[in-house]
Amino acid sequence: MTSPTDTVPALGRLPGRAGALLAELGDRAELHDLYDEAGSAVYHDITASDTHEVRELVALVRQSTGPVLELAAGSGRLTLPLLATGRHVTALELSPGMLAALDERLASAPVRLRERCTPVRGDMSRFDLGQRFGAIVLGTTSVSLLDAPGRAGLFAAVREHLAPGGRFLISTVDDALPGNGVEGEDGEGPGSDENVYELAGASGRVYRMHEYWPSGATTRKVTVFPGDTDGAQDGPVPVFTSSIAIVPADLLIDETTVAGLSLVARHPLPTGGARHRDVLLEMEVTA
């Protein structure tokens, strides 16, 4: 079974250039899980205006009827557009920091949306809500946060929570391109083992995100540094990290088949990273 700590193996041992940067910071570095309380605020800042998957998910949810269950809802990036379809949304999330950020977002949303949302603290790899849903959504390729037993638990729980005719919508990596053994600096391109992206948050703060992903590795490591560590002279420097499994679509489809779910359609997504394409899988309970 997956416990919260399974998502952050080896905090403190970062590979590649991110590891070197962390070592350079020495005692000043304050290492966090990307989804802990401080991490939730940074995650929210970076993704607040990110719209990827929203259009595709909303279009598919509209084809279903009844209440919606959103898994790993985070700070509500997908929850608000789902509520805007007019449906009731149960937003399940493990991290109290993320749930607090979601509450804040809901508090400033129109009442007609807010009143249709039920945030729930729970683990997507084992939940029992005593209710069935017309659509269950797990977006943002967040299935990658679970190990194989965690995914088996997730699919079993999804099967128990889908109403007749209901749809399970889950995004994952479709296609992973190989790295080339190079620890890339910015813009060194699709083949690098480590890519660095500069990101601007909604607050105006700038971050540098390292994505370390050697060819053939089954996990990639994402680490977020403040954009200005070079300029800052002293004081603590918060660094946020998460280990993300690679769960290719074909593996996911095999696992869901065993769990009694069948593929209805593969919807390619226009997004991904330098090294991969994403896909939205539409599934139903096997007849």
Write down the least CB distance from residue 96 to ligand SAH, Å: 9
CA 24, CA 250: separation in Å to the nearest integer? 40
Nearer to ligand SAH, 3 or 65 (CB): 3
Q: Which residues of 56-71 are buried (b: 16+ CB within 10 A; e: fewer)?
A: bbeebbeebeebbbbb
Query: Which residues are within 8 A (CB) of 44 and not within 5 positions of it... i.e. 6 or more apart?
Result: 74, 75, 101
Q: Does 7 bind ligand SAH (CB under 6 A)?
A: yes
Q: What is the 3-state secondary structure (H, E, C) of 110-121?
A: CHHHHCCEEEEE
Residue in 41, 80, 145, 170 binding ligand SAH, rule: CB under 6 A:
145
Nearer to ligand SAH, 49 or 63 (CB): 49
Among 94, 169, 224, 247, binds ligand SAH (CB under 6 A): 94
Q: Which stretch binds ligand SAH (CB under 6 A): 140-148, 177-185, 211-219, 220-228?
A: 140-148
Strands (E), the chain: 29-33, 68-71, 89-93, 117-121, 133-138, 162-176, 194-200, 206-212, 219-226, 237-245, 261-272, 276-285
| Shortest Å distance, C-beta 182 to ligand SAH | 28
CB contact burial 128-167 (16+ within 10 A = b; e otherwise): eeeeebbbbbbbbbbbbbbbeebbbbbbebbbebbbeebb
Part in contact with ligand SAH (CB under 6 A); list of ranges 13-21, 89-97, 156-164, 257-265: 89-97
Q: Which of 64, 125, 172, 241 binds ligand SAH (CB under 6 A)?
A: 125
- Contact between 72 and ligand SAH by CB under 6 A: the answer reads yes
In three-state secondary structure terms, 108 is coil
> In the window 154-173, what residues touch ligand SAH (CB under 6 A)?
none
For ligand SAH, the binding residue among 56, 93, 174, 193 (CB under 6 A) is 93
Q: Pick the stretch among 122-130, 164-172, 217-225, 226-234 that binds ligand SAH (CB under 6 A).
A: 122-130
Q: Residue with the closest Cβ to ligand SAH? A: 74
**Pattern of binders to ligand SAH over 21-60, x per CB under 6 A?**
--------------x-----------x-------------
The β-bridge relationship of strands 194-200 and 206-212 is antiparallel
- Percent helix, strand and coil across the chain, each rounded to 5? 30, 35, 35
Q: Which spans of this chain sit near ligand SAH (rule: CB under 6 A)?
A: 2, 7, 35, 47, 72-74, 77-78, 93-95, 98, 123-125, 139-140, 142, 145
